Amino acid sequence: MSKPLAGKIAVVAGGTRGAGRAIAVSLGEAGATVYVTGRSVRSRLSDIGRRETIDETAEMIEARGGKAFPVRVDHTVESEVVALFERVKQEQGRLDILVNDIWGGESLIDWTKPFWEHSLENGLRVQERAVRTHMVTSYYGVQLMIPRKQGLIIEITDGVNYDYRGNLYYSLAKISNIHLAQAMAADLKPHGIAAVSLTPGFLRSEEMLEYFEVTEANWQEGAKKDPNFIASETPYYIGRALVALASDPDVLEKTGGSYSTWGLSEVYDFTDLDGSRPHWGRHFAEHVAKA
């Protein structure tokens, strides 16, 4: 298998499950040495009730011939973020790829309530977990890129525009991720470092498979519960999109942009695991927006 990222050093912040896990695994398969961070380790799960751990993610990378280091980091604690990058600097002396996929808002969003009836405390915690953590992580991570005048920061988000996403607190977090990439790109371009945002489509994550009571083997059955599920994609689709971006020698030309898995699949010619090319943007326009 081709190793286009051989010799590269990556940090995937929020690599416990879903898109973050698949991104970490994909980077490892492509040859990068991957530091996988998150709050869930076998000896200490996070507070959101999921069983996945960064230990498992690292084992998946190594099972595919990659090299990985699981590092427990609560990215809301600045000192732990500092310690992470001090370790990367000591062990590797560089950082090439930083992926911000920290979320942790699953149990905090109430989709049934307008913002003034929603828990303000939970809404602000979403910003703490999904925006402030990205800012802190980028602040310290980019300092390992500046001296070499090269690197790539990718903000994982939901959507490619500033449209409302069904809940004020969710919208604010995801749109903030897009603008973080745009604003960082403006500061970093003179230093040869690219920053972009990247969104999946309807993500067929572990949590979604459980919600639809299906497995990856029979996932199409989930369309009986929600017909839009037929246009879903595996988390590895965004993993492959990210590898394509990170492997592009001209990625700086894309800095500041907001990209999607389906859009990049047309640029870089990659597919999902089953060889299909899901296009959530087209499906949304034809079946969701018109509904």
21-34 pLDDT, tens digit per residue, is: 999 999 999 999 99
Active site residue 268: no
Decide if 1 is inside a domain: no
Q: Is the distance from CB of 244 to CB of 264 less than 8 angstroms? A: yes
Query: Residue 289 has what pLDDT?
Result: 82
Tens-digit pLDDT profile for residues 168-209: 999 999 999 999 999 999 999 999 999 999 999 999 999 899
Tens-digit pLDDT profile for residues 94-136: 999 999 999 988 889 999 999 999 999 999 999 999 999 999 9
Domain count along the chain: 1
SS3 call for 233: strand
Decide if 265 is inside a domain: yes
Decide if 203 is inside a domain: yes
Decide if 40 is inside a domain: yes
Decide if 2 is inside a domain: no
Q: Which domain holds residue 185?
A: 9-288
Q: Which among 79, 81, 59 is positioned nearest to 70, based on CA atoms?
A: 59
CATH code, 32: 3.40.50.720
- Start-to-end C-alpha separation, the chain: 43
Q: Which among 180, 188, 222 is positioned nearest to 203, based on CA atoms?
A: 222
pLDDT tier at 221 (50, 70, 90 boundaries)? Answer: very high
Query: Residue 46 has what pLDDT?
Result: 67
Q: Is the pLDDT of residue 1 over 70?
A: no
Cβ contacts of 133 within 8 Å, gap of 6 or more = 13, 75, 76, 100, 102
Catalytic residue among 170, 236, 237, 259: 170
